[in-house]
Amino acid sequence: MKTKILALALGLAAASVCLAADEQALRDADAEWSKAAGAKDLDKTVSYYSDDAVVMPPNDPAATTKEAVRKIWQDLLTSPGAAVSWTTTKVNVARSGEMAYCTGTYEITTNDASGKPVTDRGKYLEVWKKRGATWKCVADIWNSDLPASSSATTPTSSEAK
């Protein structure tokens, strides 16, 4: 009986070590991903997504193809005055070690139509899946903490088009 209890305890301890290692790997990957976006490295930025990822940016339809995901990031990273960064605040790895999610905060600065820098701050949620030994983001959503601006109101039917 003591042998079974010891084996169970050792198994649980080993699982905890593996999950802690996965958590750190995700924190490191997310930090590197933020650095890639901050450096405006489009190829590296989109490389963190799985081929079947869904990206849900604010005020835009969901991107469900690799090309659509790339376009979102290309538009963001090449916009005038663009500066992007985010910081992970929480990582939760499933007991299976196959899926996880990260939450955190972001900051995005771009220039408005007059060329004045405008900064948005908010929060994000990423869902990651382990593919072999590599983690890939399969779902990504972010939204602002700032109040909606009056310019974001829906146009009337006479203004549409």
Q: How many CB atoms lie within 10 A of CB 63?
A: 20
State how far the Cα of 124 lies from the Cα of 106, in Å rounded to an integer. 7
Compute the distance between CA of residue 95 and CA of residue 91 in angstroms, rounded to an integer.
13
Q: Residue 2: helix, strand or coil by DSSP?
A: helix
CA pair distance 134, 90, nearest whole angstrom: 19
pLDDT in the model for residue 16? 53
Mean pLDDT of 48-57: 97
Beta strands in the chain (DSSP E): 49-56, 83-93, 99-111, 117-131, 134-144
> What is the structure's pLDDT at 149?
75
For the segment 141-151, the average pLDDT, to the nearest whole number, is: 83
CA distance 160 to 156: 6
Q: What percent of the chain has pLDDT over 70?
A: 81
Distance CA 152, CA 15 (A): 48
Q: What are phi and psi of 11, to 5 degrees?
A: -65, -45
Please state the rounded mean pLDDT for residues 107-131: 96
Domain boundaries, the chain: 2-146
Could you tell me the strand order of the sheet in which 83-93 lies? 49-56, 134-144, 117-131, 99-111, 83-93
Q: Say which residues have a Cβ less than 8 Å from residue 103's Cβ, sequence separation at least 6.
A: 88, 89, 90, 123, 124, 125, 126
Please say if the pLDDT value at position 4 is more than 60.
Answer: no
CATH architecture group of domain 2-146: Roll (3.10)
pLDDT of residue 76: 96
Residue 135 burial (CB count, 10 A): 24
What is the rounded distance in angstroms from the CA atom of residue 134 to the CA atom of residue 97? Answer: 12
